[in-house]
Amino acid sequence: MKTRPVQGLPLIHVESPTFAGPQLIFKQLLDKLLAVALLLIFSPLMIAVAFSIYRGDRGPIFFRQERVGRGGDTFRMWKFRSMVTGAEDQRAGLMDQNDGAGPLFKMKDDPRVTKIGAFIRRYSIDELPQLFNVLVGDMSVVGPRPPCPARLQSMRRLRIAGSWCGPA
């Protein structure tokens, strides 16, 4: 953060952190060590959740979603599946109940969410498999959530229009 005077008024300018050389290597090493430690600590919980999800409907345990990472590269982000199998295909029929804005689809009481899914979402347990994304270098433990390609495109349109106000 830097304070700069503009027309006699002090303005605070916040710059994005940049990591290069030893700082970048240290951050990546710290991310990977922390991911391994957290995976070891939470592995019993993750095994129990995986078993519960599979037992619920014999469907896949994980949900993979395309996200945009550093430099615009796309990758598959891992989560525990919290919805019924084929939930993405059912979204079109629920669009009239969308509480979100733009490409963001949100429903307060989404009927596609399973019983175990509601529990793991409430406590963010569904996010634990993202530690594998950290291990392979797709994500960082601390940092912004990688956006979906559609959301990123929407954000770029707003930036081009010169406005960041309102929902993206």
Higher local confidence (pLDDT), 160 or 92: 92
Higher local confidence (pLDDT), 2 or 132: 132
| Rounded CA separation 45/121 (Å) | 14
* Structure tokens, 126: 């569904």
Identity of the residue numbered 120: I
Burial class of residue 105, CB neighbours in 10 A (0-12, 13-18, 19+): middle
* Predicted confidence band of residue 162 (pLDDT cuts 50, 70, 90): very low
Distances (CA, A) of 34 to 26, 29, 97: 12, 8, 40
pLDDT above 90 as % of the chain: 46
Q: What is the tens place of the pLDDT at every residue in 67-77?
A: 998 888 899 99
Q: Mean per-residue pLDDT for 144-149?
A: 84
Supply the pLDDT for residue 12: 83
Q: Which of 114, 98, 102 is nearest to 63 (CA)?
A: 114
* Structure tokens, 137: 């270098």
Q: Give the H or E element holding residue 121.
A: helix 115-122
Higher local confidence (pLDDT), 123 or 110: 123
Higher local confidence (pLDDT), 96 or 46: 46
| Rounded CA separation 103/68 (Å) | 15
* Predicted confidence band of residue 100 (pLDDT cuts 50, 70, 90): low
Higher local confidence (pLDDT), 97 or 117: 117
113 forms bridges with which residues in the sheet?
Answer: 83
* Predicted confidence band of residue 157 (pLDDT cuts 50, 70, 90): low
Supply the pLDDT for residue 115: 93
Burial class of residue 10, CB neighbours in 10 A (0-12, 13-18, 19+): exposed
Residue 167, pLDDT above cutoff 80? no
Q: Which of 132, 128, 144 is nearest to 32 (CA)?
A: 132
Q: What is the tens place of the pLDDT at every residue in 46-69?
A: 999 999 999 998 999 999 999 998
Buried b (16+ CB within 10 A) or exposed e, 65-91: eebbbeeeeebebbbbbbbeeebeeee
Identity of the residue numbered 89: D
Please tell me the pTM assigned to this model: 0.73
